[in-house]
Amino acid sequence: MSEAITILGARGMLGSDLAPVLIQGGYSVQALDLPEFDLTKPKHLAHALDGAQVVVNCAAFTNVDQAEKQFAAALAVNGPAVGALGLAARERGVFVVHISTDFVFDGRLERPYVETDPPNPINAYGRSKLEGERALQRSGCSHVILRVQWSYGRHGANFVAKIVERARTGAELKVVADQVGAPTWTADMAGAIESLIRHRREGLYHFANAGYASRFEVARFIAQELNLPARITPCASAAFPTPATRPKNSRFNTARIQAVLAAPIRPWQEALAEFLRS
Ligand SMILES: NC(=O)c1ccc[n+]([C@@H]2O[C@H](COP(=O)([O-])OP(=O)(O)OC[C@H]3O[C@@H](n4cnc5c(N)ncnc54)[C@H](OP(=O)(O)O)[C@@H]3O)[C@@H](O)[C@H]2O)c1
């Protein structure tokens, strides 16, 4: 009989790309999201876990700037609710896959981050997500935490979609050149999640498409690939103040997860070019 997996936050950007990958992998998938499922409601948690062997938590308060003003709301979903999920999973023997973020780091390190580097979030969203990681670890359930970064996919607001939309107008586009990371397709994240589930890897892992670039370089790549008329120029983060400060260095060292995967993680350019073509 196939293993039963529940995806929480299943209508979000990652969740909606994850379901087909798991179904293709032979799993039986239950997909839950607001409004019928609320991570902060204990009764909903119990119902979501009954009959499942694995739960993947993609549900989160993900609006980084809004989290500055609505910290309590962000924390409720990203922090204690993840701990409650862990406790409910431990009671039932369910394996938890939880998704976290590079925003747990301050971005001041001058090399890619490894899993053992100490977190030090510099915005409210990062603090709430770190609280969730710690609450899950304290719960004592069997779990893996996958930190991802600079996500893009077919559903939901993201950096790639914003650049495409603005670059189509042909207007001049100023894009920050002092934030470096790797744009990462949710479809590629989904493959990594499936491997972690299949091999029941526990602990903490970093995942991103291979290579690094500044947001400016990513924007220029997108415009070139799509042959868009935009004039793209670099600028500093300081020129675009946002409610939440972003880390300058979002680079991940992915050696640990690479050892679990059957194939080399593909370069961000290859994944993004395929995404844009599709
Ligand atoms: N996007 C990125 O660049 C990025 C980077 C690093 C890490 N991550 C992490 O990746 C994971 C997946 O995020 P995503 O990119 O797929 O974001 P997303 O598109 O915003 O998906 C999150 C989903 O969770 C739902 N949700 C919010 N509050 C909930 C609650 N109380 N109960 C149940 N569901 C709730 C959202 O519903 P509504 O839309 O109705 O609110 C949405 O469907 C998250 O853990 C996020 O922190 C994302």
Q: Per-residue pLDDT tens for 41-59?
A: 999 999 999 999 999 999 9
Return the residue whose CA atom lies nearest to atom 5 of ligand 1: 149
Decide if 128 is inside a domain.
yes
Task: Single out the catalytic residue among 113, 125, 152, 205.
Answer: 125
Give residue 230's pLDDT. 83
Amino acid, single-letter form, for residue 71: F
Bridge partners of 249? 180
Give residue 69's pLDDT. 97
Q: Per-residue pLDDT tens for 194-209?
A: 999 999 999 999 999 9
Task: Examine the residue annotation and report whether 125 is marked as an active-site residue of this protein.
Answer: yes
Q: What is the C-alpha radius of gyration for the chain, rounded to an integer number of angstroms?
A: 18
Q: Closest ligand 1 atom to the C-alpha of 157? A: 19
Give residue 168's pLDDT. 82
Whether the per-residue pLDDT at 189 is higher than 90: the answer is: yes
Q: Is the CB of 194 under 6 A from ligand 1?
A: no
Distance CA 203, CA 116 (A): 11
Is the distance from CB of 231 to CB of 167 less than 8 angstroms? no
Decide if 107 is inside a domain.
yes
Distance CA 58, CA 15 (A): 6
Decide if 242 is inside a domain.
no
Whether the per-residue pLDDT at 221 is higher than 70: the answer is: yes
Give distance in angstroms: CA of 43 to centre of ligand 1. Answer: 20
Which residue range forms the structural domain that includes residue 258?
4-157+184-210+251-266
Amino acid, single-letter form, for residue 57: N
In 16-135, where do the E strands start and end?
A: 28-32, 54-57, 95-101
Q: Which two tokens stand for residue 219?
A: 């924007």
Mean pLDDT of the chain: 96
Looking up residue 196, the CATH number of its domain turns out to be 3.40.50.720
Q: Is the CB of 150 under 6 A from ligand 1?
A: yes
Q: Is the CB of 32 under 6 A from ligand 1?
A: no
Q: Is the CB of 224 under 6 A from ligand 1?
A: no
Q: Which two tokens stand for residue 200?
A: 């029941």
Whether the per-residue pLDDT at 90 is higher than 70: the answer is: yes
Q: Per-residue pLDDT tens for 123-168?
A: 999 999 999 999 999 999 999 999 999 999 999 888 898 888 888 8
Decide if 176 is inside a domain.
no
Three-class secondary structure assignment of 209-226: CECCEEHHHHHHHHHHHH
